[in-house]
Each structure stands twice: as C-alpha cells, then as structure tokens.
C-alpha cells in the first residue's frame, strides 16, 4: 500500500479567494501533496482534529486573517498544538501587514503572504517551496506499519510481542508509561489506558486488548475454509512439523498444519543456531522457522494458526481432530509434532511475576529492555547458552545459574567456548534461585550458592530447565511413557508393558504410535534427540511412513 501524500490545508471564508488559492496550490503542488480546503476557521479546526485522529501528515496550513468566529492567527496557533512540525502561513491584506508581523513572533508563524499573490510564480510558489523544503528536511515520516501500545511489565503485552515476533511480523512497540506518543495515539483513537494493550494495524484498524486468534486474523494467519478431508494433518509447527509440511505438500499430499502459538517451537526462540547443516554463519530459530513456513506454503500446505487441537479420536480408521473453538478436521493420517515446553521454576514469586521480568525461554522481544542491566539465566543447555550470548549484547552482565560444577555435561563445546570469551557473561556453579522479588515487576533474585544465601538486583530472569512433552490432550488415545513422551515403532512390540497395544498384523512403522496412521516426530517422541537437525529428519521421515500407511 502506497504511503499517503502529506497535506496542504487552505482556509478562507471568501469563496472566490479560497477557489483561487486551491487552484494555484493544485497547479504547483498536487504531484507531491494532497490539497484540502475549508471555508471557515471552526471548520478548519475540526478538520485538523480529524486529520490528527487519522494520523495524517500535515505539511503546511495557509489561513486568512480576517475570518468570523476564528481569526487566522488564532487558528494557526491551535494548528501548531496539533501539528507542531507543520509550516504555518497567514494570508493577509496590505492593511494588516503590521499585525501579521507581530503575529510571527506572538503565534510563531513561519511566514505571511499579502493578497493578491498574482502572479503566483513570483509571489506565492517560491515562498511555499522554501517552507516545504525546510519541512521535508526536518520531517520524520511516521511509522505506517503495525503498532503495539501497552505496559512494559504487562504479561499480556509480552505475549503479544512474542506472538508477532514469532511470525516475523514487523511492529513498533510503544510503552504507554514512558512514551508521550503512545498516550496521544490512545486518546486520539478514543480509547483509555484500561483498553491496553492496543494494536493499531497498518490499515487503521484498532484492536483493543486482542487475543492472539483475533490478531492472527488481522495479520492474515488463520484460515477458516477447510477441506472436507486431508491426507495428513500435522499438529505443531516446530522444526519437525514444518519439515513434515514441506515434504507432505511437495509430494502431493493434502497437508494441513495446525499451530497453537508461533512456528519454530523451542528452536524458534533460539537467538542463534550455529550447528545446523548448511548455514556456516548460523541463523536464528525464527529465521529458520519463517523460511520453512514460507517454503511449505509455496508448495501448497495449508496452515491454521493460532489454533489449538484439544481432542483426537478415530472413526472407522479416519482421524477427527477437534479444535478449542469446536471446529472438527477430518484426516486420513496425523503426525504429532507437539514438542515440549520448559518446566516451571517452583519458587516463591514466580507465578506472580511471570511475564513481568520472569520469562520461560529466550524472550528475545525483551532483550532491548535489559540494556545495561543485570539479567539471570537458569539452565545449562544449548538454549540457555544461545540466550546468554544474545542477551550479552544488551545487558550489563549476564549470570548463568547452574546446579552443577560446569556447563560441559549439558552444552555444546562451541557455545561453551563463546561464553568463555564473552567478558560480561559469568557462570554461577553450584547455585540455584530460591525466590524472585518485586512489586509489579521483577526487581531481585535470591540465590543459594553453596549454602550461602544472597539477594541480587535483577532486571530479568530467563528459565531453561528441563522439558515436558505437550501430550496431555492426546494421552487417552496413544501410549506415552511414564514421563509423557509418545511411544512409537519397535518400543510398542519389544517392551512387554506395551506389547498388547498394537493390534495390526504388521509391525508398526518406525515413527508410528499405537494407533495405526497416527505418527509422532520431534521432541515429544520418546527417544528423540533434542537437536534441530534430528527433528527435521524425523518430520521428513514421517511423510514416508504416511505414504506407506495410505497405500495399505
């Protein structure tokens, strides 16, 4: 969508004069500016307020001095309050020249023009060109994309920031408490602080306190027209799910992928993945997920997001998935790539401050707000190491809290080496967080370090401890191990505890669950390797087994 041209507003109560100035302005400036005209001072003031509410750009106002109800000088003074950057020119008769000169100082006008201005090529255009050139030099075009206005310490605002970032939707964040523009925008749109967070879309649509589903609709994510029957539905858009969607669509299967949050799963929140094949300089998890998402879409896969599946049942061999909104999806095969989520840190204050300084996962959207402050990371895996490296670019100090003596047992060597070479990252071995403190946001953490308790100031705490599979909703249909991970393939027939669960004459395919035609791939599968490359490989392999199942 092309950006709107800036506006030149002409105001005069004399119809003939107004028509003349409108004609001359259009003749010279209509290529680069929109020309508006109003025939009264009060009418012009109302127009200015409407332009402000619509976030239009005003470049210049020309107003006649002698108008009933509202003189030109007073109108231009009020215009300055609404549009401080706009140039202001007074149209006056020769007899009012002295008053116009005084008004330049009193009302801070930019110039005055004496009527008539014939010929305009000499008496009008040169002056206005100079003023508009000066305006262009100082003018900063307003951001015309999606804007999110909220409170820095609001968990709901944090969720929306993460949601938009997860889909790589560009947006401008405006903190209502510290940014005057945010307050002006909220008031101009007719809303109150109680309506926050407020999303202003590029087309002007305003969404007060939206849920992710409605926001997804406005950024073009959610599909409402579903096919009567799919060949395969992939539940979860992590690396394994995206790989399954790419290969399923490319091989001609009617493929649908359903994602409840954002694509990429835990990998999607990684600030830098440096050991993924084919990317020697590394790439972010969000970039990898976005590339895969785009690739699958180009090949014909359909996406439903953000939507959550909460029920799976089998009817005459077909699978029926039920979404939280009651929608049912019919498919011949299902690939479960639901991934895992970080376990919660069970210490005082965590629930109260979650999303307000305490975050599970990388929370890249909050990195800039940690500028020159201390942050803490709990966990010693690769995700924790990648987050530490990313946060170190902003924070004064990054502390990695681990229970063990070193990172060697749980983190890749390349990350350990990078951390060792980063001066503002410090490892705290044999330590654990025992409490988080603060009013409406995190202010301090309490550490137990080898039996010594210490309270430290903290801007943010990022938690990366263990993982639990997101399989609760499907555990009544397919077998899981005692930890909740999905059992597949040979585990169903070689382990005596599960041997009776498989009823078909053939052995289950390598990634097949106890229900024929339902497959599992990625981190939620028992025995899976927690690596991006492994997850991608399993998602690709699952499509091969779907073909074999459909051919039976």
Secondary structure of 235-279 in the HEC alphabet?
A: ECCCHHHHHHHHHHHHCCCCEEEECCCCCCHHHHCCCCECCCCCC
User: Which tokens go with 406?
Assistant: 């070193």
- Shared domain for 359 and 449, answered yes or no, is yes
Q: 444, 461, 254: which is closest to 359 by C-alpha?
A: 461
Indicate whether 59 and 179 sit together in one domain: no
Looking at the fold, whether 241 and 331 belong to one and the same domain comes out as yes
pLDDT band for position 53 (50/70/90)? confident
Average pLDDT across the chain, whole number = 91
> What pLDDT sits at residue 487?
95
**Residue 240 and residue 132 share a domain:** no
Q: Render pLDDT for 305-331 as a digit per residue (tens, 0 to 9).
A: 999 999 999 999 999 999 998 999 999
Which of 438, 465, 492 finishes a domain? Answer: 465
Overall domain count for the chain? 4
What was the pLDDT predicted at 118?
87
Q: Taking each helix axis from N to C terminus, what angle separates 413-420 and 382-391, rounded to the nearest 10 degrees?
A: 30
Tell me how far apart the alpha carbons of residues 158 and 154 are, in angstroms, rounded to a whole number. Answer: 6
Locate tokens 């609001």: which residue?
154
High-pLDDT (> 70) share of the chain, %: 96
pTM given for the model = 0.76
Does residue 496 sit within a domain?
no
Helices (H), 54-111: 72-82, 97-106
Cα distance between residue 310 and residue 258, in whole Å = 11
Phi, psi of 273 (to 5 degrees): -110, 115
User: Domain ends where: 108, 138, 168?
Assistant: 138
Flag whether 329 is in a domain.
yes
Does residue 225 fall inside a structural domain?
no
Work out the end-to-end distance of the chain between its first and last CA atoms, rounded to an integer number of angstroms.
50
pLDDT in tens, 178-230: 999 899 889 988 999 999 999 998 888 899 999 988 898 888 886 657 899 99
What pLDDT shows up at residue 222? 65
| Confidence at residue 218, expressed as pLDDT on a 0 to 100 scale | 86
Gap between the Cα atoms of 249 and 263, Å rounded: 17
Q: Based on C-alpha coordinates, what's the Rg of the chain?
A: 31
Spatial distance between the Cα atoms of 79 and 90, rounded to a whole number of angstroms: 12
Asked whether residue 81 falls in the same domain as residue 119, the answer is yes
Residue 2, pLDDT > 60, answer: no
Looking at the structure, tell me whether residues 452 and 384 fall in a common domain: yes
pLDDT tens digit sequence for 458-504? 999 999 997 889 999 999 999 999 999 999 998 888 777 777 788 88
Q: Name the token pair of 380.
A: 């010693």
336 & 418 share domain: no
Handedness of CA 476, 478, 482, 485 (dihedral sign): negative
Could you tell me the pLDDT band of residue 1, with boundaries at 50, 70 and 90?
Answer: very low
Residues 15 and 127 in one domain: yes
Structural domain boundaries, residue 63? 7-138
């Amino acid at each position: 969508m092309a950006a709107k041209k800036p506006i030149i507003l002409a105001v005069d109560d004399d119809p003939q004069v107004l028509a003349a100035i409108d004609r001359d302005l259009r003749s010279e400036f209509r290529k680069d500016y929109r020309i508006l005209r109003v025939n009264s001072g009060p009418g012009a003031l109302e127009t200015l307020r409407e332009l402000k509410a619509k976030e239009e750009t005003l470049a210049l106002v020309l107003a006649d001095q002698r108008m009933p109800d509202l003189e030109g000088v007073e109108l231009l003074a009020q215009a300055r309050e609404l549009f401080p950057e706009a140039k202001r020119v007074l149209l006056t008769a020769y007899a009012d020249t002295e008053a116009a000169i005084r008004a330049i100082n009193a009302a801070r006008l930019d110039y005055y023009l004496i009527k008539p201005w014939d010929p305009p090529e000499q008496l009008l255009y040169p002056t206005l060109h100079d003023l508009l050139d000066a305006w262009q030099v100082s003018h900063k075009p307003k951001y015309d994309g999606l804007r999110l206005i909220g409170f820095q310490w609001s968990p709901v605002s944090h969720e929306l920031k993460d949601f938009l970032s997860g889909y790589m939707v560009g947006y401008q964040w405006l903190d209502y408490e510290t940014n005057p523009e945010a307050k002006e925008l909220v008031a101009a749109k007719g809303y109150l602080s109680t309506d926050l967070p407020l999303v202003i879309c590029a087309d002007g649509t305003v969404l007060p306190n939206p849920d992710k589903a409605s926001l997804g609709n406005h950024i073009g994510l959610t599909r409402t027209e579903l096919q009567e029957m799919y060949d395969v539905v992939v539940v979860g858009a992590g690396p394994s799910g995206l790989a399954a969607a790419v290969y399923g669509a490319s091989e001609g299967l009617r493929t649908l992928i359903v994602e409840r949050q954002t694509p990429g799963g835990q990998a999607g929140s990684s600030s830098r993945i440096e050991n993924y094949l084919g990317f020697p300089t590394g790439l972010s998890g969000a970039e990898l997920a976005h590339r895969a998402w785009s690739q699958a879409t180009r090949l014909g896969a359909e996406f439903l997001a953000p939507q959550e599946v909460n029920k799976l049942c089998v009817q005459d061999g077909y699978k029926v998935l039920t979404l939280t909104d009651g929608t049912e999806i019919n498919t011949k095969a299902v690939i479960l790539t639901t991934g895992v989520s970080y376990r919660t840190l069970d210490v005082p204050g965590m629930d109260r401050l979650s999303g307000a300084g305490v975050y599970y996962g990388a929370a890249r959207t909050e990195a800039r707000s940690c500028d020159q402050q201390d942050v803490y990371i709990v966990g010693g895996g690769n995700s924790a190491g990648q987050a530490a490296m990313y946060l170190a670019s902003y924070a004064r100090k990054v502390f990695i809290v681990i229970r063990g003596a070193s990172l060697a047992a749980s983190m890749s060597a390349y990350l350990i080496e990078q951390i060792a070479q980063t001066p503002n990252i410090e490892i705290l071995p044999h330590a654990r967080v025992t409490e988080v403190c603060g009013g409406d946001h995190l202010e301090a953490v309490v550490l137990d370090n080898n039996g010594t308790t210490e309270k430290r100031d903290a801007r943010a705490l990022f938690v990366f401890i263990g993982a639990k599979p997101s399989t609760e909703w499907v555990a009544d249909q397919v077998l899981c191990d005692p930890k909740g991970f999905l059992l597949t393939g040979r585990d169903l027939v070689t382990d005596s505890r599960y041997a009776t669960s498989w009823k078909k004459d053939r052995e289950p395919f390598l990634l097949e669950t106890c229900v024929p035609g339902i497959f599992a791939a990625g981190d939620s599968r028992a025995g899976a390797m927690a690596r991006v490359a492994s997850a991608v490989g399993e998602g690709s392999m699952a499509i091969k087994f779907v073909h074999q199942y459909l051919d039976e």
